[in-house]
Every structure is written in C-alpha cells, then in structure tokens.
Amino acid sequence: MAEAALDTNIVVSPAGVALGARVEGIDLVRDNDAETVAELRALLLQHHLLVLPGQQLSALELEAFGRRWGALLTHPATKHRDTPYVQFIGAKGRKFRFTPGVHPFGGGWHSDMTWHSTPPIITGLHARRLPSSGGDTAFANQHLAYETLDAETRQRIGSMEAFHTGKVFGPDVEDSVHPVVRTHDETGRKALYVNANFTKYLVGLAEDESERLLYRLFAHASRPEFVYRHHWQINDLVLWDNRSVMHYAIGDYDEPRLMHRIVVQGGKPR
C-alpha cells in the first residue's frame, strides 16, 4: 500500500520485498533543500534503497544534491569532465562477458569502496543512457543476510575483521581492515560487511580456513530472498545505503550504458 511522504503530491510505494521504496512526485532540481533531504534520509534508513524516477539532473546538480547528504568522495576510476566528485560510468559490449573476481562465489557483488578507510555510506546512481534491454542492477539487503545466519556463525564472526584491498584501481589506492559484521551508526542494526570484489581474507585465520568461511558468507549474502533487481529507466536516480546494501551491475547488454555516480563519505566502520 502506498503512503504519503514529504507533501501531498509525493507518494512512496514498495520497490521490492527485501528492500527498496519508490518515491514519486519529487523534482530534485526544484526540491533540493534540507527539509527534503531530511525526509529522504528517514525513508532511506527505513527502506535501505530509494528509487526516484524522472530526475533531470546535470552532473553539477547531482553533485549539489549529494553535498546535502555530506562530504563527497572522489573515485580513482573515471571522473566526469565537469567535476571530480561525479563518476562517469560508461560501458558497452558487456553481453555474456562475465568476469568473476578472485572468489568464485558472488564475484561482482560489493559495497562501494570498502577498501577505503572511511568508505561511503550512501551511493547515488543516475541513469543517463541505457541499452534497449539488459543492464539492470541487483541489490542485496545485508541486514537480512546477517540476521538469517545460524547462531553459531553469527557468534563466530561477531568480532572478526577482514582485509579489503583497492589495488584493482591502481598501486597507490589504499587498503583497509574492517569488521566482518558492521553496526549501522544511525539505526544500530547489524549487517554482514564482506564482499567478493574487495574482501581478500579474514584477519587471524589460516588461508584455507579464511577462504572457506568467506565463500560461505559470499554465497549466503546474495541469496535471492535478500535481493531487489532494478530495471532502469532514463533519469532514474537510485540512492542506497552502503552500510546495509551490496549491489551487482548485471553485464547482459551490448549497447552503450552511461551512468553518473556520487558517493557520500562515512566514518570508520564499527
């Protein structure tokens, strides 16, 4: 059932079962104020992901909106020509070219920039050009992933730490150690916080033991029950909480796909 939010012209409805809400009737060019962002932040904490369709934002307008949420991080990969705080993500010819990461289970699933010492708490992805078919993004609720682990595993990983590396983006990109179970700094809920793209080993475990446990956690974290799959439309803006959500860009297209991305800096995960 839809619920009113922000004002009488705005409607919030479920986007998926495991996570996500669709927020319609808002124009972020016009409604980019502190009150609107505060309401959206409350919705994001509740639903973990927001879909805001029809947002006709330039790169600089997207950056200005992002700064309402906090300080923005740059990324060592491609940057937009107008601002280093908006990443320009363009690809084509991806159909059937799946390239798994080091770990065979869940390769491609990740939370943004977990290799950073203060990784992003929020990502915004804005669709600018899309293929005629394919190019969806899947999102997985990591609160549910943690909460549905058996009690023995939750106890075992409760105080563990994991090593995350960003060297895939260059030799000077930092590495970091973060908790395997992250406590959300605003809601207090616990979430699984490892991913197949950037998490390389569990601190203090032998290599084979670390890999076995990580494989199990990666496979569990992306179970279909935890997933919302977003089918993009031009000018969709999707915001998600990296403290509670992983995502996967599905490479099943062979036409250009262009996106703009912002990431809001957080603190040290705990």
Q: What residue type is assigned to position 177 of the chain? A: V
Q: Does domain 3-265 have CATH number 3.60.130.10?
A: yes
User: What distance in Å separates the CA atoms of residue 184 and residue 191, rounded to the nearest whole number?
Assistant: 7
**Helices and strands: H and E segment counts in the chain:** 5, 16
pTM for this predicted structure = 0.94
Task: Scan for tokens 């919030």, then name that residue.
Answer: 12
pLDDT for the residue numbered 162:
98
CA dihedral of 163, 47, 106, 102, whole degrees rounded to 10 = -30
Q: What is the pLDDT of residue 100?
A: 54
Which tokens is 69 given? 């949420």
Widest pairwise Cα distance in the chain: 57
CA distance 193 to 186: 16
Q: What is the pLDDT of residue 102?
A: 58
pLDDT of residue 92: 80
Ranges under pLDDT 70 in the chain: 1-8, 98-107
Answer whether 143's CB lies under 8 Å from 232's CB: no
d(CA 142, CA 165): 20
Q: Tens digits of per-residue pLDDT, 7-52?
A: 557 899 999 999 999 999 999 999 889 999 999 999 999 999 999 9
Please report the pLDDT score of residue 4 as a whole number.
43
Return d(Cα 117, Cα 163) in angstroms, integer: 11
